[in-house]
Each structure stands twice: as C-alpha cells, then as structure tokens.
Amino acid sequence: MAGGARRGRGMITDINVTTLVDIMLVLLIIFMLTANLIAKQAIEVDLPKAAQGGALDNKPIGVTLTKTGEMFVEGVPQTPEELKALVKAAVQKNPKTVVMIAADKQTAHGRVVWVIDAVKGLGVASFAIQIDPASLQPPPVK
C-alpha cells in the first residue's frame, strides 16, 4: 500500500511540501505583478550615453531634471529653494555629501549648470552626473 493507511497510530513525520510550494508560487506571482507596477512609477528620463563611468562610495542625493523643466529630489518634486534647503541640511549632517544629477538629454545645459553651481555653493565637494553606460556615438551635428 503505497501512501495508503498506516498500521500504527504514531506521529506523522513526513513533511507535506505541496502547500509550501503552492504558497511560494502565489507569492512569486504577486511579486512579479506588483514589481511591474512599481517600476512604472519611476520618473521618465532619457539619460545620455557614455562609455566611461564609475560607482560612488556613499549614497548620494539624487537630483533629477526632466525635459519639461521639472526638478525632483529623491523622486519628490521640489522647487529650487527646497533643493537648496535639502542640500544644506545634508551637508551639515555629512560634509562629504555627494549629489547625483540625472538630467534628460533634452534638458537645457544651463539648467544642469545651475544645479551644479547651486549645490557646490552650499558646500557639496563632489557631484556626479548619471549616465546610461553604453558605447557612445558622437551626437549628430546640426
């Protein structure tokens, strides 16, 4: 009798993994569906491509500039005054604060330079410009 009735009334020592596998598959499906929704809530920025790039040592403050002119700090819309206040507070906590600037390719160069100048004026010793690592082709001349 394979898997049928047992002769004795002893303890059940077999582990039934079927329910465990069912639960794990349901959790996997839920995770896969929600991860897609979370990823779509990111700010759409078309980063410029570059062949050279490196990683940063400590967690930087993320500043994102969109092609429509909006500015986000750590994913939250901010005004220039709010950016300055946040950076100033971060520099007071950690003098080695790094600012990571992610700007859309179509963002005006002057806007990026303004952010760099503003954060350096508040005591940020180093900043980084986020890129899309790829083999860079020179932009077309207009």
E strands, 17-92, are: 49-50, 61-65, 71-73, 76-77
Q: Which residues of the chain have pLDDT under 70?
A: 1-8, 36-58, 133-139, 142
Asked whether the beta carbons of 63 and 115 are under 8 A apart, the reply is: yes
Asked whether the beta carbons of 50 and 133 are under 8 A apart, the reply is: yes
Domains of the chain: 49-133 (3.30.420.270)
Q: What are phi and psi of 19, to 5 degrees?
A: -65, -35
Report the SS3 class of residue 63. Answer: strand
**Residues 6+ positions from 131 with CB-CB distance below 8 Å:** 47, 48, 49, 50, 53
Retrieve residue 138's tokens: 């020179």
Tens-place pLDDT, residues 8-31: 677 878 778 888 899 999 999 888
Tens-place pLDDT, residues 60-69: 888 888 888 8
The reply to whether the predicted model has a pTM over 0.95 is no
Query: Residue 47, Cα to own-chain centre: how many angstroms?
Result: 13
Beta bridge partners of 129: 101
Retrieve residue 120's tokens: 């350096």
